[in-house]
Amino acid sequence: MTESNEKRSMSDDEIKLAADYITKSLAVFKNVIEIGKTKVERLKNETNRLMWTRRLTGITGIAEMIRGVMMLIPKGENPLVKDIEELTEKVEELGDRVGRSFDDLKSVIAEINFFVKIVGPTFVLGRYMRDCIEHPSKRATGNFKRAYKKHPPFKLFYNLTTCLERSSSNPLRMAMDAEKVHSRETFDRWEEMIYMITAQLMILEAFANGLLEFKTKNNLDLLITRATTAYDELVEWRKEYSKKNHDAYWKDIKEYVEKHTTTYPKMTNAERADDIQNRLDTYLTQDAFYILVFNVSTVDREHSYHCPKAESQMIGVWNKGRCNVIVYRSHLANRLENNVFVKVENEVRACKEGKFKNVGTLRNVIQTQLLDSNSVRGDGFVGLVDLSKDLQVRSAYCSEHMWGPGWWEKVVFVGRPEVTRTLIVSFP
């Protein structure tokens, strides 16, 4: 399209085309704003990357219409009016969200260059993009063009990656290194900030492709490719800081659990289990957890467990604050395929009705009836707790599996008397 000197209303065909462009554009903004960091790794998949690229064509198309028609507002009664207003709001919302996020994070770690070289110019470009959509005119186009020439998105992305490459200027590393126990929230917030800025730069480049009539979209394609590399770095940093946090968070949760039982003796088992679960959720780690809280009981008669690496993977507080607490961490669960979870679920379910006898100590029951018979795996954690002990089971850091890093069921042990106990089996 060539630029018109006069504003005019859109034809029916242009309205249909604009509706398609806006639908694709809104999908892009909603992915970034609503889904955010949880989808950081999506662009690493070729199919998802192609889908993202196709949706960005909607933003390019909107810019082309602004350049050619200079008027993106149809008649007032047309439903497209509301869509255009929503798109304008989303452009503004993304820019404001990045700005607010950085303001919040500045209180954690001050990295002024990150704002001057990256966040500030990105915000300005986004504001001019919004003006072009909301009030299309030569002036709006000229403002965007000047801002683009001064701070092209690809150059801003280069500034971002350069900043992240050096520990002395990487705000994520600076914030994490300032913490004695690395927190999940700190890492997540900086990861989300980096993701949103990168996504916004892609959007701005796609818009510039249409508005400024670029002959190729090489910069946009290269930006998408380089962004996936940056996301790979974020994945590696998460692994790195999770590994560094291994001993620190375990020491912290051990102290927390021990103090918790004596400080709040009147808490219910459910309340205590929830508190410990919430605490575990604050740590940056790739471990997964079971939290067991149950009434005061006698070991080997009313509860027992088998845990080959209890010294490093289990915390036990016994008969304090009117309860017992077990926190078990699985190093392996979050790296296992779903079929392995299904297998342990089936094994535990097979133990439910009358398969085992209520004879001897519970320690002996676990060894002879559960482990020696290969009924359940014994390389992680196996626990039995009498039903009468108000056992509360919680899991943490195992979001893909609502039953936690293993499986648990109520199991009937036949004999005199017949006893129902909860069987918990977890991965190493």
Q: Give the pLDDT band of residue 22 (cuts 50, 70, 90).
A: confident
Backbone Cα Rg of the chain: 28
Average pLDDT (152-180) is 91
What pLDDT score does 5 carry? 43
- Helix, coil or strand: residue 306: strand
Question: At 379, which helix (H) or strand (E)?
Answer: none
What gap in Å lies between CA 99 and CA 379, rounded to an integer? Answer: 48
Name which residue leads in pLDDT, 418 or 385: 385
How would you label 194-222 residue by residue, b for 16+ Cβ within 10 Å and e otherwise? bbbbbbbbbbbbbbbbbbeeeeebebbee
Neighbours of 19 (CB within 10 A): 16
Q: State the virtual CA torsion across 156, 158, 159, 165 in degrees, nearest 10.
A: 150
What gap in Å lies between CA 135 and CA 361, rounded to an integer? Answer: 79
Beta bridge partners, 392, equal 293
What pLDDT score does 328 carry? 99
Read off the pLDDT of residues 304-350 as tens digits, 9 standing for 90 and up. 999 999 999 999 999 999 999 999 999 999 999 999 999 999 999 99
Q: Residue 43 to residues 3, 93, 235, 284: CA-CA distances in angstroms?
A: 34, 22, 13, 23
CB pairs under 8 A, 24+ apart, for 319-322? 320/258, 320/261, 320/262, 321/260, 321/261, 321/262, 321/263, 321/264, 321/265, 321/267, 321/272, 322/265, 322/295, 322/296
Read off the pLDDT of residues 38-50 as tens digits, 9 standing for 90 and up. 454 566 677 777 8
pTM over 0.75: yes
CB 67 within 8 A of CB 210: yes
Q: At what angle do helices 46-69 and 218-244 cross, to 10 degrees?
A: 140
Ranges of H-type helices in 151-298: 153-165, 171-177, 184-211, 218-244, 246-263, 269-280
Name which residue leads in pLDDT, 227 or 378: 378
What pLDDT score does 35 carry? 59
Name which residue leads in pLDDT, 216 or 277: 277
What pLDDT score does 362 carry? 96
What pLDDT score does 94 carry? 82
What gap in Å lies between CA 237 and CA 233, rounded to an integer? Answer: 6
Which of 136-140, 179-183, 423-427 bottoms out in mean pLDDT, i.e. has the lowest? 136-140
Q: Which residue has the tokens 């085309």?
A: 17
Euclidean distance between the first and the last CA atom of the chain, given in angstroms as a whole number: 62
Neighbours of 359 (CB within 10 A): 13
Read off the pLDDT of residues 405-423 as tens digits, 9 standing for 90 and up. 999 999 999 987 889 999 9
Which of 106-115, 146-155, 187-196, 397-406 bottoms out in mean pLDDT, i.e. has the lowest? 106-115
